[in-house]
C-alpha cells in the first residue's frame, strides 16, 4: 500500500484516540488541553531543528497569522475537551468535524468563493444529522446538550485554524515550523485559562501523567504529523474523504475502551452527518 495512504489512516486513528485520553485524564479538560500541547512542544521543536533544510522563510504578516492560528487552535482544544467530557465521544467528534463546512462558509463570506450547489445539499443533510445527534443527547446525560453545543463551537474554532493554516501554507510556511510555533502559542494561551478555570491542574498518579504523554505524543504530535505528511503526498479529494475515518474510529474506540455504545438514532444521525460533510466537501472543491 502507498506509504502516504498508510500515514493518513494511521494519523486519523491516532487523533481518534484523543477523546479517550481526555476522558480518562486525571486533570481537568482545559488543563488536559494545556498539557496536550505543553508536552508536545519540545518534541516538535526537536524535529524542526533536526531538519535544518525545512527552516521557514520570513514573510509579511507571518507572526500575526501564526498568532491567529495559535489562538484558534487554543479555542478548538479548550471547547472540544469540554465537549468530550459532557456528551458522547461520537457526538463531540462528529460535531467537531463540521469544521469543513464552516471553512467553506468562511471562504464564501470573507473571500467571496461561492461554493457549488452540491455544498448546500451537503449542508442541509449535515444539519438534519446534527438534529438527530442532539436529540440522542437528551438521553445521554444532563450535560449532553451543552456538550453538543460546545462541539459546534469547536468546529467554528477549528475552521478558523484551518483557514489560518491554509493562508500560512500558501505563503510557504513549512509543516514542522507551523506545528511547533502554533503548538507553543496554544500552550501559552491555554495555561492562564486552565489556571483561572479552577480545574484540577496536575494528575494525581503516574497513570495520569502517562495518559497526558500519550495524548501529546500519540494524538497530537504523531497524529497531526502523519496527516500533514499524507496531505502533502495525496490528492486533496481523496484525503478529505479519508479523514472522515477519524470520527468512525473515535466511536469504535469509545465502544471498545469506554463501553460507550451507540443507539440506532445516533448511528443514523452520524451517518447523515458524514454523508453531508462528504457532499459539502465535494461541492466546495
When comparing pLDDT for 186 and 271, which is higher? 186
Nearest of 99, 244, 43, 73 to residue 165 by alpha carbon: 73
In this prediction, residue 243 carries a pLDDT of 65
pTM for the full predicted model: 0.86
Whether residue 230 has pLDDT greater than 80: no
Retrieve residue 127's grid coordinates: 444539519
Stretch 183-209: mean pLDDT: 95
Residue 236 pLDDT more than 60? no
Residue 140: the pLDDT is 65
Choose from 97-106, 238-247, 253-262 the range with maximum mean pLDDT.
Answer: 253-262
Distance between CA 155 and CA 166 in Å, rounded? 16
E-assigned strands of 44-187?
none
Block residue for cell numbers 446534527:
130
**What confidence tens digit (pLDDT) does each residue in 55-75 have?**
555 666 688 889 999 999 999
- Cβ burial of 188 (10 Å; 0-12, 13-18, 19+) is middle
Q: Which pLDDT score is estimated for 97?
A: 82
**Position 191 pLDDT exceeds 90:** yes
| Alpha carbons 233 and 2: distance in angstroms, whole number | 10
Q: What is the pLDDT at residue 2? A: 76
Please indicate whether residue 140 or residue 201 has the higher confidence score (pLDDT): 201
The rounded distance, in Å, linking the Cα atoms of 66 and 135 is 38
The span from the CA of 29 to the CA of 190, in Å, is: 11
pLDDT at 223 over 90: no
Q: How confident is the model at residue 167 (pLDDT cuts 50, 70, 90)?
A: confident
Which of 30-34, 103-107, 117-121, 239-243 shows the lowest per-residue confidence on average (mean pLDDT)? 239-243
Q: In whole numbers, what is the pLDDT of the chain averaged over residues?
A: 85
Domain ranges of the chain: 3-284
Q: What is the pLDDT of residues 92-123, one digit of tens each?
A: 988 888 887 887 787 777 767 777 788 888 88
Amino acid at each position: 500500500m502507498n506509504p502516504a495512504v498508510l500515514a493518513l489512516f494511521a494519523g486519523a486513528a491516532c487523533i481518534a484516540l484523543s477523546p479517550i485520553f481526555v476522558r480518562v485524564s486525571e486533570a481537568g479538560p482545559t488543563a488536559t488541553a494545556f498539557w496536550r500541547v505543553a508536552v508536545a512542544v519540545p518534541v516538535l521543536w526537536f524535529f524542526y531543528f533536526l531538519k535544518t533544510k525545512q527552516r521557514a522563510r520570513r514573510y509579511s504578516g507571518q507572526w500575526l497569522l501564526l498568532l491567529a492560528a495559535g489562538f484558534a487552535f487554543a479555542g478548538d482544544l479548550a471547547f472540544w475537551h469540554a465537549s468530550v467530557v459532557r456528551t458522547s465521544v461520537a457526538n463531540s467528534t462528529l460535531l467537531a468535524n463540521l469544521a469543513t463546512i464552516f471553512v467553506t462558509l468562511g471562504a464564501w463570506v470573507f473571500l467571496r468563493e461561492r461554493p457549488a450547489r452540491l455544498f448546500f445539499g451537503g449542508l442541509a443533510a449535515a444539519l438534519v444529522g446534527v438534529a438527530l445527534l442532539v436529540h440522542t443527547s437528551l438521553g445521554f446525560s444532563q450535560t449532553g446538550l451543552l456538550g453538543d453545543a460546545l462541539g459546534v463551537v469547536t468546529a467554528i474554532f477549528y475552521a478558523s485554524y484551518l483557514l489560518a493554516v491554509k493562508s500560512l501554507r500558501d505563503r510557504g510556511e513549512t509543516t514542522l515550523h507551523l506545528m511547533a510555533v502554533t503548538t507553543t502559542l496554544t500552550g501559552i494561551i491555554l495555561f492562564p485559562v486552565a489556571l483561572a478555570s479552577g480545574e484540577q491542574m496536575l494528575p494525581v498518579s503516574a497513570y495520569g501523567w502517562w495518559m497526558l504523554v500519550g495524548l501529546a505524543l500519540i494524538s497530537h504530535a504523531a497524529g497531526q504529523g502523519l496527516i500533514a505528511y499524507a496531505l502533502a503526498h495525496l490528492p486533496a479529494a481523496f484525503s478529505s474523504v479519508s479523514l472522515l475515518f477519524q470520527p468512525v474510529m473515535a466511536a469504535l474506540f469509545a465502544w471498545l475502551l469506554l463501553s460507550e455504545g451507540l443507539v440506532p438514532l445516533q448511528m443514523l444521525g452520524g451517518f447523515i452527518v458524514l454523508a453531508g460533510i462528504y457532499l459539502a466537501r465535494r461541492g466546495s472543491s
